[in-house]
Amino acid sequence: RTSVSTGLLVQYNKSQEVDSMANLHSEVDEVRGVMAKNIEKVMEKGEKLSRLEQRTAELDANASQFRRTGVQLQRRMWWRNQKMKIVLVGTVTVILTVIILIICWQKGVFKKKKY
């Protein structure tokens, strides 16, 4: 009877070891699965960050181009405004000169005086 009991005890201990090894293997497999998912997520985040960096660089380039174009347009409009002012001042000067000459002519300023 003792040998049967000892044999059962040894067999029971071995089955416990096998169960604990199976549990350990299942935990390791579970950890592997979690790690694989985490690595996948990190890779996706890395790709998203790369795309975000690329978009940021493109936006920066577009902003610089927009700024340059804005400055060029501002200069062009300033010159156009200056030209209009010059034309306006010239036109007003000519009109005033003509009016003054007409008034002077009517007053007889340009007639020769007889002595």
Enter the tokens of residue 67: 């700024």
CA torsion 107→109→110→115, rounded to 10°? 110
CA distance 61 to 53: 12
pTM: 0.49
CA distance 105 to 115: 20
Q: What percent of the chain has pLDDT over 70?
A: 82
**How many residues are present in the chain?**
115
Residue that the structure tokens 């089955």 belong to:
15
Q: What is the pLDDT of residues 11-66, one digit of tens each?
A: 656 666 667 777 888 888 899 999 999 999 999 999 999 999 999 999 999 999 99
